[in-house]
Structure 1
Amino acid sequence: MKFENNNKSSVKPWVLATFSIAASAISFSSWAASNSVEVMHQWTSPSESAAMKVLRDAVETNGLVWQDAAVSGDGGKNMTQTLQSRFAAGNPPLASQAQAQFVLEYTEAGALADLTAQDKAGGWNKLISPELYKYMNSNGKTVAVPLNQRRENMLWINKKVLDQYGGKVPTNWDEFLVLGAKMKAGGIIPLAMGGDDWQEAEVWTNVLIGQAGVDFYKKAIIETDKAALSSPEMVKVFETYRKVLQLSDPNRAGLDWAIATGKVIRGEAAMQFQGDWANGEFAAAGLKPGVDYLCTAAPGHGHTYVFLTDFLAFFKHEDDVQKNQATLANLAMSKEVQENLNLKGGSIPARLDVPRDKFNECSKQAFADRDESIKDGSLIPSFVENTALSRDLRGPIIDVITHFANDPKMTAEQAVKKLAEGLDL
């Protein structure tokens, strides 16, 4: 991955315009005297809340007061907007959940605290995969810690429903389409899916990788290569994607991802493409993998691991609270918190040395696939979840996918043409 190219235009005008204001306005006496840790995050579903409670309990056990600043809704957009407003007003939280590209933007603006000393003391660079570490450490300065290493490209299946239709997990997209058609004819919603643009784009990415391959994803998406984006292979991706959408929930508009997962849990829908956070929802509902539900990579993906991460980014504050930030960072990176937080949340730890014995079979498969993908280069960053691409590049691709997903008259050829146009290639 040409990581350095992702940052050419990553610093947004709002960051540069507001940082000079924020930097001079953060000197609040309340912070200087505070023993609290305010953490902004978007984790509000049952499994997410349980995961965040693990970190909260660890903080409070260490004598600090946890200030919860949860902001739900719109796939994290509401939280991001709230954070930007707080930052512009010179009142950012001590730490905030953030995706990789947001960490990079705030880093380039000089807005984040320096955790390099904690990094070196803990040997974090040896505990995190290189593909992930470069997002938390820029130019030798560590500014964030990863809570997990999530996997985006997962297929979740209600086992009872699947057994009614032969019990065979689809291993390629042709098999998926045949199975989905049978389910639809039988009155079952084949594919639970929400109408958020990121949910639509995740399914599209699954089709792209499963049908065209990892190298094509790297060329077309990560490198935004015009020839790949305009190729016959890309036309075929959109054609297959249209067929997949025809198997999705007809009432998916405005549907939250966790609500869609609930439909699979209850057997109202058969399958869902969703990141491994869905694993936490199945577990929270008391279901067991292999018995009540099945988890597998998206069709055609094998052990390919499309990753994203929930980072905690730490904003600059007065000297008096830097010790609180150090405590929070060290706790978030500890084996105990990494293990227990991810046991609740359904993902796997960012640390590579966390014991795996307590995790369920879905997570153990994720561990194994991550190991293999690190070896052969198929551990690849998600562009949908603000990891692989700057938002300037991500936005036009998402727009085309959203337009195509919601306009049945738009052809695959038109979508491919708009990809190149939107990226100004």
Structure 2
Amino acid sequence: MKAKQKQGLARLIASVIASGAMSGIAAAQTPQVEVVHQWTSSSESFALQAVKDALVKKGLGWKDSAIAGDDGANQQQALQARLSAGNAPTAAQAQPQLLFSYAEQNELANLDTYAKAGNWDKLVSPELIPYVKYKGSWYGVPIDEHRENMLWINKKILQKYGGKAPTTWEEFNTLAEAMKKDGIIPVALGGEDWQEAEIFSDLVIGMGGPAFYKKAIIEHDPAAIQSATMGRVFDELRKIIGYTDPNRAGRDWNVATQMVIDGKAGMQIHADWAKGEFLRAGKKPGVDFVCSATPGSGHAFVWVMDSFTFFKQTNPAALANQATLANAVMDRDVQENFNLRKGSLPARNDVPQEKFDDCAKTNFADRAAGAKEGSVLPSFIENAALERDIRAAYVDVITQFVNTPSMTSAEAIKKLLASVKNA
């Protein structure tokens, strides 16, 4: 290589190094928030970008601490370890019972000042407020409201069988049997315990109604647990497991959703974050897939909420960054963009519905109707309706039942009664 070429190359390398160094310095100087969360699927990451983009406009960076797996249990363990070590992040995604746990440990920042300035008590959907407050004060900023009791169907497959979504579990079974006979996997399901328990929850609301859900789940009433209705719930759960494929062990929920998207399975019983995956794959409701409430639901709306919790900080700059993040999460445009991508409804009740698709508009309508009839209810799977030890009792028995083909419904009920009593 000639001398001039060597000198030119040297200058180029020096320039790149200097540019990288300056970029690193600039990045280091940009204030940022660290957020621990479990949103790692394609649609979840896309939705979260709506928050990140809003922060960039305010001159605030984002340090992503995403921890996937086991319906957030991995995130919870990692976060608890950090709290024990005195190394709390700026904020974390948290569901209600986890928020309460962090508040009880005196780890959370009180958000009442922001809530009062932003009029959160008037803007947040009323059923969510008791689950982001602790002892009367705000400790969480809710960003979405999912509907758990949902059914997703590949439209092309459904058209082979009349094109009508089932409205009763008897119709569901007839449709599933027809698919199975034709060599189609009727129900896409993952192998995680919470996915199995979610189906159980949908059966409780669909076969017993809101009053039974309140008794059997929220109040964990012994008479309801031992009832004939609960026996039918377990019987139907056994049938549905028979409609899944034997290779589901360890499968993530979004992989199961992809099976329906690709036509490898006909249906998925899953909350409406599944819709985010359909949309991210370029699929359209009513054209490529059919959405409906699970059979027997009526207007019942079993909700799941994600919120951001903020950990105590002493540095004034860190406190200012928290304020920016909290206000961004509650921003109306951010909530609109986030939930359009995520498949959920906004936690704010003043977000216009015009941009939302027909699936969401059905859920808006059912939530409004359900509020009038007392059928807007918290999910127990997603750490809202039940304390964590009682939730674990339900999930453990459901998992045993699903994975023990010889276990009868009567035996499962007996185990559930004992487990809840001892929780």
TM-score by length of 1: 0.91
Matched, 1:89 2:85: yes
Count of residue pairs the alignment pairs up: 393
Match of 1:173 among 155, 169, 172: 169
Alignment of 1:406-425 (within 5 A): 406-424=403-421
The one-letter code matched in structure 1 to 2:152 is: W
1:400 maps to what in 2? 397
1:331 maps to what in 2? 328
Q: What are the superposed Cα offsets for residues 31-67 of structure 1, whole Å, 9 maximum, x if unpaired?
A: xx98221011111111100011110111121011211
> Equivalents in 1 of 2:344, 2:126: separation in Å?
19
Structure 1, 383-392 or 122-131: larger mean CA deviation: 122-131
2:205 maps to what in 1? 209
Matched, 1:306 2:302: yes
The one-letter code matched in structure 1 to 2:326 is: A
1:344 maps to what in 2? 341
> Equivalents in 1 of 2:223, 2:63: separation in Å?
50
Match of 2:360 among 347, 357, 363: 363
Structure with the greater alpha carbon radius of gyration: 2
2:277 maps to what in 1? 281
1:3 maps to what in 2? none
> Equivalents in 2 of 1:129, 1:45: separation in Å?
26
Task: Give 3-state SS (helix, strand or coil) of 1:149's partner.
Answer: strand
> Equivalents in 1 of 2:354, 2:195: separation in Å?
31
Matched, 1:297 2:293: yes
Matched, 1:233 2:222: no
Match of 1:188 among 181, 184, 190: 184
Q: What are the superposed Cα offsets for residues 281-327 of structure 1, whole Å, 9 maximum, x if unpaired?
A: 00011111001100000000012110011110101111411111111
Alignment of 1:2-81 (within 5 A): 35-81=31-77
2:159 maps to what in 1? 163
User: 1:77 Cα deviation (Å)?
Assistant: 1.4
The one-letter code matched in structure 2 to 1:379 is: V
Gaps of 5+ in 2: 1-28
User: 1:147 Cα deviation (Å)?
Assistant: 1.0
Matched, 1:141 2:130: no
The one-letter code matched in structure 2 to 1:173 is: W
The one-letter code matched in structure 2 to 1:128 is: V
Q: Is the 8 A contact 2:30 2:60 kept in 1?
A: no
User: 1:140 Cα deviation (Å)?
Assistant: 2.4
Q: What are the superposed Cα offsets for residues 349-371 of structure 1, whole Å, 9 maximum, x if unpaired?
A: 00010011111111111111111
Task: Give 3-state SS (helix, strand or coil) of 1:310's partner.
Answer: strand
> Equivalents in 1 of 2:381, 2:177: separation in Å?
27
> Equivalents in 2 of 1:171, 1:249: separation in Å?
23
The one-letter code matched in structure 1 to 2:420 is: L
2:247 maps to what in 1? 251
The one-letter code matched in structure 1 to 2:295 is: P
Percent of residue pairs bearing the same amino acid type = 53
User: 1:139 Cα deviation (Å)?
Assistant: 2.1
> Equivalents in 2 of 1:368, 1:326: separation in Å?
33
Q: What are the superposed Cα offsets for residues 234-276 of structure 1, whole Å, 9 maximum, x if unpaired?
A: 1111111111111112211111100000000011100001111
Matched, 1:384 2:381: yes
2:18 maps to what in 1? none
> Equivalents in 2 of 1:364, 1:333: separation in Å?
21
The one-letter code matched in structure 2 to 1:356 is: Q
Which contiguous aligned blocks of 4+ residues in structure 1 show a shift greater than 4 angstroms? none
Q: What are the superposed Cα offsets for residues 79-108 of structure 1, whole Å, 9 maximum, x if unpaired?
A: 111111111111011000011100011112
Matched, 1:222 2:227: no
The one-letter code matched in structure 1 to 2:303 is: F
> Equivalents in 2 of 1:77, 1:312: separation in Å?
16
Task: Give 3-state SS (helix, strand or coil) of 1:63's partner.
Answer: coil
TM-score by length of 2: 0.91
User: 1:130 Cα deviation (Å)?
Assistant: 2.2
Gaps of 5+ in 1: 1-32
Q: Is the 8 A contact 2:142 2:308 kept in 1?
A: yes
1:13 maps to what in 2? none
> Equivalents in 1 of 2:187, 2:218: separation in Å?
28
